[in-house]
Amino acid sequence: MLSNLSIENYALIDSLDVSLDSGFTVITGETGAGKSILLGGLSLILGKRADLSTLRDKEKKCIIEADFIIKDYSLRPFFEENDLDYEDQTVIRREILPSGKSRAFINDTPVTLDVLSQLGDRLIDVHSQHQTMRLTENDFQMKLIDALANNKEQLKTYSQLLKAHSKTQKGLQDLLSFQAEATKEQDYNNFLLTELEAAPLKEGVLEELEEQYQQLNNVELIMEELSKGDQLMNDDQIGLISLVTELRSVLSKLNGFGSQYADIYTRIQSVFIELDDINSELQTFQDGVEVNPSLLEEVSAKLQLLYNLQKKHGVSEISELIAIKNALSDKAFETAHVDEKIAIKTRELQELESALEEQALIIREKRNTAIPDLKKQLEQQLSLLGMPNASFKIVVNALDTYKYNGMDDLSFLFTANTGSDYGLLKKVASGGELSRIMLVIKSVMAKYEKLPTIMFDEIDTGVSGEISNRMADIMKEMSQQMQVFSITHLPQVASKGNHHFKVFKFDEGEGTKTNMRKLNNDERVVELAQMLGGKDVSDSALAHARQLLN
């Protein structure tokens, strides 16, 4: 319920702060006093877009804040889904800055207008005559029947099944699309895969082949240079081995004459060992090098194959070719087994459809059971509201399609007069009739499910006398299950409120302001008397007012 509302710098409101209670609250005031301004400010809390022109002082920001007690509304999942801090007493704040920018907060966490609007729909239902067209919507009518039918758990189960059905159906469609695409590309993909599998694909293979190609392609030059190297190493006169051997022999004679000679001998000995090792490797290289045209041709062909594959697939690394080969291999495997997967998914879908249809049948049967009771309640209540011949014809029609709320369509027909044809509400009911029908429907729904705070904005316009009394009684009865507000011009309605607020205008300085305050019992008597007889309050009007209150 709405426990507190504060408004600053909005339209004619300079500063307003009111505490509100449960039960039935009435709001009265002269025409033009600012009741619509109050609703306008409240609508910003509910997610309506802001208008810079509503700022009273264009240099200051507008702040509207509302406190709600929500512990009975089962809203914790909504807060978790939107990453908001849940509090039993939740504070919603809206700010409109002089720059025109708007900000919204739920428990001091910034939120989008969409999130604010979703929460607002769960907290307050603002109902005015022009909003009665919701009554003509099929979804709203079905919601009414489901409330009486106690279909909450069945609809929850149905919704879970429908979600699984949608997911499974999408999975099946994806498999069928994959199958169609794979079949169309199968031959070409198999050709690509075979081509890649025939290539020597492994990490580093390109570098190895390029090195091997360079050696085979330059074998004569390599042989010539290795021969020169061998001659430089082993020539009897000037060969490095002979010269270093002779040098080592000379230094060995000095080896015993001091550590410095011993060190130099050790170093030349190391040089000799290294040269001897190099000489052995050169000999091995010479023995291993040979002209091999067939191997050169083979290596060249492998290189050309890899170069062509890189160009064909638009890649520059062997690792990328390997990745493409693996992907094609996986796709070939998937293609080979897709029929089996389609069969499994099809069976899953059929099982879900059977479960959905079974659940939809339960929902339909409970709806059909609830309709006579709904029809009776609506017609009885409307009879008391001056529509004694009001009659409904409500029929649930089975569908072959899955809707979000079952597999039914609804024919919700109405006539206000005996002997007249039944027709759709939006075509045969007047605005005043729709208002009374909506009031009755809301009162019926309040018995069966937890509704949010409801605010009736002059729903009693155009009625008087005993009908207005009955409308007030209905709203007061509703207030036993929920918080109810009624903005009214009728003293019969105003007198039934548990709490009474008056909206009024006053001049201050060079401007006009709007405010609202709670009336005590004596003030209520005066207010009702003025609503009965005008500004000049007579004794009879006061007596009538006291009688209404009592």
Does 290 share its domain with 406? no
Does 114 share its domain with 16? yes
Q: Is residue 364 part of a domain?
A: no
Does 110 share its domain with 39? yes
Name the CA radius of gyration of the chain, rounded. 45
Q: Is residue 203 part of a domain?
A: yes
Q: What percent of the chain has pLDDT over 70?
A: 97
SS3 category, 218:
coil
Nearby residues of 490 by Cβ (< 8 Å), 6 or more positions away:
460, 463, 464, 468, 472, 531
Count of structural domains, the chain: 2
Does 142 share its domain with 202? no
Is the pLDDT score of 442 beyond 70? yes
Is the pLDDT score of 493 beyond 60? yes
What is the C-alpha separation between 518 and 47, in angstroms, rounded?
27
> Could you tell me the strand order of the sheet in which 391-403 lies?
391-403, 406-415, 423-424
**Mean per-residue pLDDT, 439-465:** 84
Does 188 share its domain with 331? yes
Does 185 share its domain with 62? no
pLDDT range class, residue 195, cuts 50, 70, 90: confident
Most confidently predicted of 185-194, 217-226, 419-428: 419-428
Digit-coded pLDDT (tens) for 250-298: 888 888 788 888 888 889 889 988 888 988 888 888 877 777 888 888 8
Does 196 share its domain with 333? yes
Nearby residues of 487 by Cβ (< 8 Å), 6 or more positions away:
26, 27, 28, 35, 39, 455, 456, 457, 458
Predicted confidence at residue 313, as pLDDT, reads 87
Does 209 share its domain with 307? yes
Predicted confidence at residue 184, as pLDDT, reads 67
Does 285 share its domain with 410? no
Is the pLDDT score of 486 beyond 70? yes
Does 393 share its domain with 287? no
Q: What is the mean pLDDT of the chain?
A: 87
Boundaries of domain holding 279:
177-337
Q: Residue 360: count other Cβ atoms within 10 Å of its Cβ.
A: 22
Strand 406-415 relative to strand 499-508, pairing: unpaired
- CB-based contact 105:93 (threshold 8 Å): yes
Digit-coded pLDDT (tens) for 203-229: 888 888 888 788 788 888 888 888 888
Take residue 123 and report the two structure tokens written for it: 């907290």
Predicted confidence at residue 133, as pLDDT, reads 60
Digit-coded pLDDT (tens) for 32-65: 777 778 888 888 988 888 877 788 888 889 999 9
Predicted confidence at residue 496, as pLDDT, reads 94
CATH number of the domain encompassing residue 68: 3.40.50.300
Using alpha carbons, select from 155, 129, 132, 159 the residue that is nearest to residue 143. 155
Does 278 share its domain with 324? yes
Is the pLDDT score of 537 beyond 90? no
For tokens 């106690």, name the residue: 150
Q: Is residue 547 part of a domain?
A: no
Predicted confidence at residue 196, as pLDDT, reads 81
Q: Is residue 19 part of a domain?
A: yes
Take residue 180 and report the two structure tokens written for it: 């169609």
Digit-coded pLDDT (tens) for 125-172: 888 655 566 677 788 889 899 999 999 999 999 999 999 999 999 999
pLDDT range class, residue 494, cuts 50, 70, 90: very high
Q: Is residue 353 part of a domain?
A: no
Predicted confidence at residue 129, as pLDDT, reads 59
Does 120 share its domain with 212? no
The three-state (H, E, C) secondary structure of 370-438, written as one string: HHHHHHHHHHHHHHHCCCCCCEEEEEEEEEEEEECCEEEEEEEEEECCCCCCCEEHHHHCCHHHHHHHH
What is the C-alpha separation between 46 and 39, in angstroms, rounded?
10
pLDDT range class, residue 299, cuts 50, 70, 90: confident
